[in-house]
Structures are given as structure tokens and as C-alpha cells.
Amino acid sequence: MHRVINAAGALSRLGGSVLSPGVSEAMKFASQDFIDLPFFHDRAGEELARITNNEGACVSNGAAAGILVSVAACLAGSNIELAAELPNTTGLEKVNVLVWRKHVDGFLAGADQVLHNGYLSAVTMAGGTLKIIDEVDELQNSDAAMLWFPNVYPQVENEEDFFDLFLNRARLLGIPFIVDAADQIPPVSNLWYFTRDKGADLAIFSGGKGLKGPGSSGLIVGKSELIRACRVNSGPEHSIGRPAKVGKEEIAGLLKAVEEALSSDELSDAHKWHSVVDRWLVELDELKHLGVELQKTSTSHSGQPIPRAILFLTFADNAVRDEIIDYLWKQNPNIAVLPQEGVGIALNPHMIKDEEISLVSRAIVSAIVAVVQK
């Protein structure tokens, strides 16, 4: 196994992020004694709610587990007996989890075949029935347990307007509006933007990506009543969330990670990211004579305010592009980049280390030359 130079971003398959010394120490400290885990879980949630400007907060075993727990909370509420019955929803009037069809692309591709998608399986494992809708007028409170809005689609034109449209309709009908914001930090203000500022009932975040907490942690924030229901439906209780229980180490680590994120200098981070991208563009300029067009974007693949360097391969097709990406991955250390629509390769500075910047540039030049000359 080789270490990875991460020019792709905060991705689960790469380990999410690298823990700070403070987060590592918090997890180590929590690991050294026995505790009352439910009490610690609740108290940590209270503190997370306070510092994120929310009514309530709950640590989950990753953002996907946060989906499962949130669906269960919307189905069974805080009723212990109903929670114990899930995923059996016999007797429940509202079991449909609504998703906008425009979101049935990207990471939700294959929504019509739920078992082929882990995120959607989280909905059905909790007992929810997935219902895809095309228009906001299809929102009906007679059958809807919740509306699940994955806010990770920068390619959806005017998505912010549609967000407001669906949210306002859901609030009018009393349908819980749940934002899947797993990869929406930075900015850290999103921890309260979707809930306190916009009015969503819950928002779910990955703990191990932009927050740089434990890789198997997630954060649910929002309305206190639903957060209480999330706790009833999560471990260590014997509910549907038991297989996704959170350990004391993850709770302690995530709390510390959120504290550090809130005290971080996002302007300084942004300046650094732009500097890295600008440096890549200079160092890769020699590739222009091979038919590589260089472009700088202002956002990441999931719409975060993280700039990227994009290399468009005008001389190639996607098969050649993928061969170059594979060539980079087979180096030692492995170099991770992402494909970009339009026969492109995207370089993300979010998780790059200073000493790795030029290593990436040199490796890309070598990879493209090697593939072109093959």
C-alpha cells in the first residue's frame, strides 16, 4: 500500500481528510475510560447545537447513516414503540420520502433501482418508501414523511431558487425538509445557513470531509424535536440505527473538529487554495503545445467555494483521459485527481500539502507525455 497525494478533494474513498493533532488527542482522551455513552452523546449534541447556532444537534456514524436516522426520525418520531418496529411501517400513514427528479443524477444515479445505491438504501432500510417527484406541486402532505433535498448539485441551473421553492411548499404543508449537505463545508456557516437562516428542519453533514473530523462521523443539526427523534432512532438504543451506532471517540473527535472549524480562518484558506491553483496553471503551461487547455474554476465538483485547475484534453477522448488518471494513480505515492466533464482532469487544492504541489504538476506532465507518446 502506498500513501496518496490527494489532488481530488475530500473523498470518502481516500479517507476523507487528515485529522488535526487536536482532534486526534480528543479521540485518544475519550478512548481511555468507560463513560455513560447516551449521556455523553446527548451532552455533546447540546454543545454542538450551541456552537452551530441550532436548536439541536446529533452525531451520526457518517452522513449516510445520518440519512437513515433522519428518515427514521420522520417516520417514528420519538415514539420508542414505533421506533422499535422500523423498518416495519404498518399502521403509519406517511412513509414516502420525496426526492426531486433533477437530483436523480450524479451520486443518486439509479434511484429507480434503489438497491444499487447506498444512499437510497439508507432511506429504505429505515422503512421509507422512495417517491420521485418532477414538480413542486407534487408535494402532498397526505403521504409525505419528508422531503430529502441533496444540496450537492451545482450543475442544476438555478438550484438555489428551486431550494426555496421546495422549502416554502414543504413548510406550508408541514412536511419536514431535510437537507443532505454532506460535502457542503466550506463554508462553515452552512452549519446554520440551511437550518437557522433558511428554515430547513434538518441538515446532515459529513464529519470526515470539510469538517476534518473522524472519517466515520457525521453531524445532524436542526429542529430540537426532530433531533430528539434522531437520538431515539440511533444507537446505542436497539432501534433501526443500532447498526450505525457512534463510538465515544467519534463523538469527542467530531466535537473538537467542529470547534476547530469554527475558529479557522476561511479567508486565509481561500487565499492559499487560489495560490495553489495559480501555481499549477503556471507549472502546467508547457502542456499547451500538446493540446491541453487550462482553466481555473471558482468552485469544487460539489459547489464548494474551492477553486480548481481544469485540464481539458482537446487531443483525446474520455478513454485516454481515464488512462492518464489511472497512470497517476499507479505512481508511488498514488496521485488522486478527478475526471471533469468535457474530457477534462480536475485538480483540487483542498487537501494538498505544500510539498506536494509541484509533485502533482510534474507527475501530470509525465503522465500526459507518456500516454500521448505510447
- Asked whether residue 188 carries a pLDDT value surpassing 70, the answer given is yes
So where are the chain's domains?
Answer: 4-12+265-373, 35-262
Half-sphere exposure of 211 (CA within 13 A, CB side): 34
Superfamily of domain 4-12+265-373: Aspartate Aminotransferase, domain 1 (3.90.1150.10)
CATH 3.40.640.10 fits 35-262, yes or no: yes
Q: What is the DSSP letter of 312?
A: E
- Cα separations in angstroms, 80 against 76, 232, 234, 239, 326: 8, 7, 11, 8, 50
How many Å apart are CA 242 and CA 236, to the nearest integer? 6
Comparing C-alpha atoms, which of 87, 109, 113, 111 is closest to residue 98?
A: 111
Q: What is the DSSP string of 167-213?
A: HHHHHHHT--EEEE-TT--SSTTHHHIIIIIT--SEEEEETTTTT--
Tell me the C-alpha distance between 61 and 233, whole Å: 13
- Enter the pTM of the model: 0.93
C-alpha cell at 211: 469538517
Whether 4-12+265-373 and 35-262 share one fold: the answer is no
Which letter does DSSP use for residue 348 in this model? -
pLDDT for 1 equals: 85
pLDDT digits (tens, 9 = 90+) for 253-282: 999 999 999 999 999 999 999 999 999 999
CB 68 within 8 A of CB 122: yes
pLDDT given for residue 143 in this prediction: 84
45-82 tens-digit pLDDT: 999 999 999 999 999 999 999 999 999 999 999 999 99
The CA-based angle 74-218-301, given to 5 degrees, is 105
